[in-house]
Structure 1
Amino acid sequence: YEKECRKQRLLDFDDLLLLAVRLFEKNPAVLRRYASRYPHVLVDEYQDLNLTQERLIELVAGGADPFVVGDDDQSIYRFRGASRASLERFVGSFPSARTITLGRNRRSSRRIVSAAAALIDHNPDRLTKQLRAPQSGPAVQMWECADAISEASSIAREADSLVHSGTPLSSIAVLCRTNAIARPIAAALAAHGLPHVVIGGHGFHDQPEIKDLIAMLRVIRDPGDMVALARPAAAALQPLLERFAVAAKQLDVRDLFFELMEQSGYAGELPGATANVSRFAENIGEFCETSTDHSLDALMRRLELVLLSGEDEAPAPVEASDAIQVMTIHQSKGLEFDAVFVPALVEGRLPQSSRSPRFELPPAVLEPLVRGREDVIAEERRLLYVAMTRARRRLYLTRATHYEGGRRWRESRFLNEVREAGPRVVVETQVAAAASPPAPAAVNGHSGDVHLSYSAISAYQDCPRQYWYRHVERLPVVQSAEAVHGVILHEVLRRAGELRKQGESISAPRLKSIHEDVWTETSFPDPRRAPAFKRNGAAELEAYRVRGGFDPVPVYLEQPFDVAVDGWNLRGIIDRIDRTGEGWRIIDYKSGRPVTRRRRDLQVALYALGATGALKIEPLELEVVYLASGESVRVEGVSAIVRDAEVEGSRVADGVRAGRFESRPERRRCRLCPYRLACTDAL
């Protein structure tokens, strides 16, 4: 990436910071000139600076007296590289600086400040400050609701009551930990006829009109693209789009898009979408300015990479001056409202369950004072503190005992900390279950046996709507480069295993030859990345050979099975089964990253269920081989996980048979879903 940027003489935002720091560090004369030019340096929200920004301040203001304002209790941008330790580092860099503590809150009421202080006092190593407020106000409300529907309905009813008592719509906010939490609450507000706007719930490319445009262009590129045709706007224009498919090979994509809008009249039918359609056209123009290839195919390849990256731009701003604001807590930073609702205060949502970061930072870059799990919880606590202190007069902390999945959710550990403010500050209320909405209509339910595989069960667990698209509607999808690479590795392993069954050994040259043959026979979907995949795959296979992976002689390879299980049928293909001294070992190869333990155990347990039913072999050992990392995992407790897998399969079969195919949108999952374009609920 950096090499390509240098080649095109481009700088990104991080380069502007990093190169400025390097310039000052290597050229003292340049640094002195800028330092003398800016004798007074003022910085607000200092706790949100990352290390590069901090270093820039240290250099420019090194010989002066910088003035910075910050609050370590509001450091919530760790994912951007910010750190609550930034203020402590500032004191270390400027030891003569004088610290003035501002503890008076001029926004929130005394009770809100007391509740927030009781919470944030549980964070270790924070800078000491006495939080107080002169304004009076009603007690903080803490609601326990029976289920998610009751929680959303209660928030909507209370918001309606506030509006009728004179609170402006725009002075009411619902602050959520994630965008997915906002969906049912936005639906409840709509059901009560309350004007509202969900801020940042969808990026630019997730706007309905942009998904329509992408679907149209996909059909022009490939008239047989069934996923794109699942969008009604594209299906309605199918004859026109098919005519454009011929011209698309000769037209500049800018002209193609202009003609498409002219002949379809799409933009004129959706006046509220004009701004985003215009921006999409501008983006096409910008693409053509930086690319020598102005074809539709080149644009779509670029667009696919943008969508896969997960980095999206904001849509055109929505005019919503008089509407309830629904947003994430991060988006609320710096804002204030008369009334604030903070929903879903349960373990796993706030605080969120710990999850691996997208990128692992080296220890030297991480803040020195707080590393590990406690820091994650401390940041989640700061996040709730920020949400609570957005409220001027009324604050509602809500939770439900049951969300999706049927299990009982434990309340957030933070609520007990808030309760320490006392009963005069916090008032608790039990909210009864709301009337259950009508069950969703069955869609293509099965009246007979249901046939499931691991991938089908996994898809249903993640999102029943995705299962419906794939296994009921049977919408075909193009395999990703990662998936095809996995197919290649599995085929190499199968061929090598067949040679071992014939008594032949697998040498490094022989394995390399097999790998070359399979690549030659396979059509790879991404020629640009093919060399990297091929190189990595060869290295992974050779490492597996060196570890002795081909020493045992397999008994079964790519073994299919199809067995009846309690009213449903389980089918699948087992990568490899070896004979052991005491029984049998099922081996499953993984070409990608390690999966969660629950998902790993489910897959190999289903294979065990299939093997015992179809091949009548036991006892069984289960092993998962991660080719990329070189790790092999032996799965313990086979009998127990097989029983759990059978129960889970039966639960999925019941849902499929009943036609329950509701969506379960979650941003990361939706981002990678091949049916995202067709799904109206995708985040």
Structure 2
Amino acid sequence: MPENKYTINLNQEQKEAVLHGKGPLLIVAGAGTGKTTAITHRLANLIQSGLAQSQEILAVTFTDKAAGEMEERVDRLLPFGYLDLWVSTFHSFCERILKEHGLDIGLPTNFKLLDQTGSWVLVRQNLDKFNLNYYRPLGNPGKFIHALIDHFGRCKDEAIFPEDYLQYADDIKRNFDDGVFGSRAGDREDKITQKEAEIEQQRISELADAYHTYQRLLLENNALDFGDLINYCLKLFKERPTILDKYRSQFKYILVDEFQDTNWAQYELIKTLAGPANNLTASADDDQSVFRFIGASFNNVLQFKKDFPQSKEIVLKENYRSTQNILNLAYNFIQLNNPNRLEYQLNQDKELAVEAKEKGVELSSFKKIDKKLKASDQSAGLIEHLHFATLEQEAEGVAKKIAEIINNDKEANFSDFAVLVRANDSATAFFKEFERQRIPYEFLASKGLYSQPVILDIISYFRMLDNYHESPALNRLLGLPFLNVPAEVAAKINQHSKKRAQSTYETLQELSLVKGVSKESAQKIGFLVDLIKNHSKLIREKTVGDIFLAFLNDSGYLKYIVKQENDRDIGLVTQFYKKIKSFEENSPEPTLTNFMQAMDMELESGEAGSLEADIEKGPDAVKIMTIHSAKGLEFKYVFIVNLVDKRFPTIERKEPIEIPDKLIKEIVPSGDIHLQEERRLFYVAMTRAKRGLFFTSADDYGGTRKKKLSRFLGEINFKKPEAGAGGEVSLKPVEKGAEGKKSYNIPPYFSYSQFAAFDKCPLQYKFAHILRVPCIGTAVFSFGKTIHRTLRQFLENYLADQRKNQKELFRAAPDEKDHKKNDFSEPEQLKRIMAVYEANWIDEWYENKKQKQAYCKLGKEILKDFLERFLKEQPKIKFLDGRPSLELDFSLKIGENTIKGKIDRVDELPDGGIEVIDYKTGRGKEKLAKEDKEQLMIYQLAGEQIFKETPECLSYYYLENSEKKSFQSSEEERGRFKQEVLNKIEKIKNSDFKATPGWQCQFCDFKNICEFRKL
């Protein structure tokens, strides 16, 4: 394949990866070698060269963030828009497949997805259904339940179904009955006595039965866990060959990023889907395989070569991140994991050549691989080991070193520094020292949402509404930052409560009896009491989400954090709101009381709440994080701390319940597996550094004995520590004006709704699309969404029945044709559309029962009129890749910018050409305004790129009076409009988002928190 614009500025190995044609490809990509560049350019090249359309390529990775970044990069590379780009995580890919085809293997397609905490709660609520003896919890069942769920999860990593486990348990029992005794599960050598064998057989049977019970509970509750997504998708493909063939035909090319992090089941899924063409690209670095604790199979990288001996290997060696001395140190260190490394095994493994020959592939010409990285930057980096007497001095020393570098390196920012810890609890000493020394920092923990102050405030308010006698919760509320009742007043209130043996709330009801409360404090407390009384009335009739938004708005809390420009707290509030909305979607009664019961269950399980963090969007601050979290990131200066024995490397913690050896499908490497994993983790930490790498340690971490240095320091030849100095930090002051204009994180994609918001008020745009402030919904929004969902689902069902009917009529004998014909009469279809309407009704944001009933009635009238017109006119809905063009997601490219949206419907016109239709639930306008036409012109431009033809007719379908308003645009108008869009995007990118108050304020979702509003 010839070179093109996607290979410009790439090195030779990257070019080869991008231009590789058909057949399996293994990209061995070392740290910092531009692996993501190679993969995204390969994906874009496959599309641009015509080898595949966007929907014919599947690209999978491991996190939503990585998938989003890959899609953004491909967006920037492609000169045109596209319809459907399958870039996703393994789990989201499988969820999408099962939502469409789950019924084919007996799964409901409307299943809810449980995370580990959700699974824990399910087991906890049904503990009596587990027949446990060996594993019966004697005390708090929390840890025991986690052990069981972890075990079931590991089974699913290996694609071990409950029936496999039950069969194994039966085999064990049969052997025992026959007098054959083996060894304990997980121990190949340890032979056991008859009595031990009996206990072991009972233990295995109990586990198999528990696994079966757990899986049955999931299905009874219309739920799947994350392991199920992979396994059921694999089951679907293996048991339903027609469906497998459909997706094999669709996905001409498959790309897997971070292949070393796949587990056995994920790799089996990809192998199954890739055959028989095997146009499979796997990008991997076995030296960065550090997720074995969550099921990743280190051996998959080597297994790839065994499964595809004809594969091409491309090794990316040119490093664009680190200096050569840092790379040399890391490479020499990781050699200690030989022979269990890809480089060693591919170069030495004679068995591999024998296996390949058996498959008809000659490996005699196989070129040996070399993973030693070469730096593009030939300068020498800083590498130091700093040793201290105590942990406190170690933290001081790190702070001092950062200050020293900041003062000497004029180009360095605080965000150029990372402090990497082996575990989250090791971070405390460092961020406390940074606070003391006033060094800006950001602790990027993956857990801890529920312990964030702003979230604790909200949870405390919920507790207070749920139970007036929750005095600790009410005491926290007295200290809300925007109320700020003095501590001495709160102390007097508590003293009075204790004296009278009553709750704090009861004392607030008789506040006049408490001496020493000022008038100002009494007013603040009165406001809080009234708020609690008013919101208590909502508990029975409103959802927890309604109460959440009522508290934020009525209390002034949301207005307070917005005014403070506290982006972090706004982000935390948004994350918690997502949690609440997820609860509402999965709960038949989403009340505040039920939510608090679920929260208490989560807290009992040890769940602290997931935290979302985007390091690139954070403030200029030193980043403190675990090494696992740092994977894929890079920093100018890296500190790897607490390098002492038993902290890094850690002591191996075996799985509480191990999978029996005979059920394990993964080939486990020899040697100390845990130590090898810890070495890879240390290698990952070292290769994050660009210019400076600092190892730190101390003698005293609070124990009775002096700590030994980490063995890893010895392995990199830092046996004699250099004494590090602690002390106070002296930072040069930041020059006035150095901060410059505040920058905003503009969304990577644009949409018509974004343009409309910006036109109305730039501050509204900021609230909605940058800060993503939660806002109260409306009845119009819920109703509109209900109608759109109903029309899409009804039309999909109708068209599927129509096609099925045509096939059956074609196959049927003449005398059977009347019998085979489906009922497409208006009365029957009316029943069906009303059933779909009922199933899709969104019961949210209606002011009262009367309003809800009125909308419900209006919806039935709209659907009846729609159906009557649809059956009369019989419009021909356009099909694309075998699917009707209903609610088509699109990505439109204008200049270097991507606009995303959804087209409700595309019809084929009788005389040729296509019509783009957008549903509106209101009544038709006499004349379409300019902004109305602009929305449809975006859809028209998207249609040009998707269908390779310009939609001739652009229509709004006003459903309330069943009226269509259509227009056509000229090429000149479209050209002018494109320029207007580019100008608008430029304005958004350069805006300071100042408010433009006016008449529109009365309709703004954020009027309650905006200080500039005009009402």
TM-score tier (shorter): 0.5 to 0.7
Per-residue Cα deviation, 1:95-121 (whole angstroms, up to 9, x for no partner): 222334444433221211121123211
> How many percent of aligned residue pairs carry the same amino acid?
32
Gap change, CA 1:365 and 1:344, over 3 Å in 2: same
Return the alpha-carbon distance in structure 2 between the equivalents of residues 220 and 234 of structure 1.
17
> Is residue 2:644 matched to residue 1:346?
yes
Contact 2:461 2:477 in 1 (8 A): no
Contact 1:209 1:277 in 2 (8 A): yes
Gap change, CA 1:23 and 1:255, over 3 Å in 2: closer
Q: CA deviation at 1:305?
A: 2.3
Q: CA deviation at 1:28?
A: 2.8
Gap change, CA 1:131 and 1:282, over 3 Å in 2: closer
Contact 1:76 1:383 in 2 (8 A): yes
Return the alpha-carbon distance in structure 1 between the equivalents of residues 439 and 300 of structure 2.
42
Contact 2:416 2:635 in 1 (8 A): yes
Correspondent of 1:131 among 357, 372, 394: 372
Partner of 1:19: 232
Partner of 2:290: 76
Contact 1:220 1:241 in 2 (8 A): no
Please report the TM-score for the alignment, with normalisation by the length of structure 2: 0.40
Partner of 2:442: 197
Name the SS of the counterpart of 1:322 in structure 2.
coil
Return the alpha-carbon distance in structure 2 between the equivalents of residues 14 and 185 of structure 1.
36
Return the alpha-carbon distance in structure 2 between the equivalents of residues 176 and 288 of structure 1.
37
Partner of 1:269: 560
Correspondent of 1:153 among 375, 396, 405: 396
Correspondent of 1:313 among 594, 597, 610: 610
Q: CA deviation at 1:355?
A: 2.5
Per-residue Cα deviation, 1:586-624 (whole angstroms, up to 9, x for no partner): xxxxxxxxxxxxxxxxxxxxxxxxxxxxxxxxxxxxxxx
Partner of 1:162: 405
Correspondent of 2:454 among 185, 209, 217: 209
Name the SS of the counterpart of 1:223 in structure 2.
coil
Gap change, CA 1:394 and 1:220, over 3 Å in 2: same
Correspondent of 1:99 among 313, 316, 319: 313
Per-residue Cα deviation, 1:263-306 (whole angstroms, up to 9, x for no partner): 43333333322333344345334423432323322111111223
Please report the TM-score for the alignment, with normalisation by the length of structure 1: 0.58
Gap change, CA 1:139 and 1:266, over 3 Å in 2: closer
Gap change, CA 1:359 and 1:105, over 3 Å in 2: farther
Q: CA RMSD in A?
A: 3.0
Return the alpha-carbon distance in structure 1 between the equivalents of residues 435 and 248 of structure 2.
55
Return the alpha-carbon distance in structure 1 between the equivalents of residues 575 and 282 of structure 2.
38
Residues 64-463 of structure 1: matches in 2 within 5 Å?
64-124=278-338, 125-128=340-343, 129-134=370-375, 135-164=378-407, 165-166=409-410, 167-200=412-445, 202-229=447-474, 231=476, 233=478, 239=529, 243=533, 247=537, 250-252=540-542, 253-271=544-562, 272=566, 273-309=569-605, 310=607, 312-315=609-612, 319-357=617-655, 360-363=658-661, 364-365=663-664, 367-370=666-669, 374-419=672-717, 428-432=721-725, 434=727
Return the alpha-carbon distance in structure 2 between the equivalents of residues 395 and 61 of structure 1.
41
Matched residues, number = 430
Specify every segment of 5 or more residues in structure 2 that has no aligned partner in the other structure, as ranges.
1-213, 344-369, 486-524, 729-1015
Return the alpha-carbon distance in structure 1 between the equivalents of residues 541 and 670 of structure 2.
55
Q: CA deviation at 1:316?
A: 6.7
Contact 1:140 1:427 in 2 (8 A): no
Return the alpha-carbon distance in structure 2 between the equivalents of residues 409 and 117 of structure 1.
27
Per-residue Cα deviation, 1:479-509 (whole angstroms, up to 9, x for no partner): xxxxxxxxxxxxxxxxxxxxxxxxxxxxxxx
Return the alpha-carbon distance in structure 2 between the equivalents of residues 240 and 147 of structure 1.
52
The amino acid that maps onto 2:341 is: R
Per-residue Cα deviation, 1:412-444 (whole angstroms, up to 9, x for no partner): 111110118xxxxx9952125658xxxxxxxxx
The amino acid that maps onto 2:668 is: L
Specify every segment of 5 or more residues in structure 1 that has no aligned partner in the other structure, as ranges.
421-425, 436-683
Per-residue Cα deviation, 1:146-200 (whole angstroms, up to 9, x for no partner): 1111111111111122222222222211111112212221222233332221112
Return the alpha-carbon distance in structure 1 between the equivalents of residues 665 and 698 of structure 2.
35
Relative to structure 2, which stretch is displaced further, 349-358 or 114-123? 349-358
Q: CA deviation at 1:384?
A: 0.7
Contact 1:50 1:82 in 2 (8 A): yes
Q: CA deviation at 1:354?
A: 2.4
The amino acid that maps onto 1:176 is: V
Correspondent of 2:247 among 8, 20, 34: 34
Name the SS of the counterpart of 2:336 in structure 1.
coil
Q: CA deviation at 1:251?
A: 4.2
Contact 1:73 1:120 in 2 (8 A): yes
Relative to structure 2, which stretch is displaced further, 411-420 or 73-82? 411-420
Per-residue Cα deviation, 1:364-389 (whole angstroms, up to 9, x for no partner): 337433378x2111111111100000
Gap change, CA 1:249 and 1:304, over 3 Å in 2: same
Contact 1:338 1:394 in 2 (8 A): yes
Gap change, CA 1:349 and 1:367, over 3 Å in 2: farther
Return the alpha-carbon distance in structure 1 between the equivalents of residues 418 and 445 of structure 2.
14
Q: CA deviation at 1:225?
A: 3.0
Return the alpha-carbon distance in structure 1 between the equivalents of residues 312 and 570 of structure 2.
53
Name the SS of the counterpart of 2:296 in structure 1.
coil
Name the SS of the counterpart of 2:253 in structure 1.
coil
Per-residue Cα deviation, 1:80-103 (whole angstroms, up to 9, x for no partner): 210211112212221222334444
Partner of 1:61: 274
Name the SS of the counterpart of 2:372 in structure 1.
coil
Return the alpha-carbon distance in structure 2 between the equivalents of residues 362 and 322 of structure 1.
49
Contact 2:444 2:613 in 1 (8 A): no
Return the alpha-carbon distance in structure 2 between the equivalents of residues 302 and 29 of structure 1.
41
The amino acid that maps onto 1:338 is: K
Partner of 1:481: none
Return the alpha-carbon distance in structure 2 between the equivalents of residues 54 and 379 of structure 1.
20
Return the alpha-carbon distance in structure 2 between the equivalents of residues 398 and 333 of structure 1.
20
Return the alpha-carbon distance in structure 2 between the equivalents of residues 279 and 39 of structure 1.
37
Return the alpha-carbon distance in structure 1 between the equivalents of residues 608 and 215 of structure 2.
18
Gap change, CA 1:74 and 1:316, over 3 Å in 2: closer
Q: CA deviation at 1:239?
A: 4.2
Return the alpha-carbon distance in structure 2 between the equivalents of residues 336 and 390 of structure 1.
5
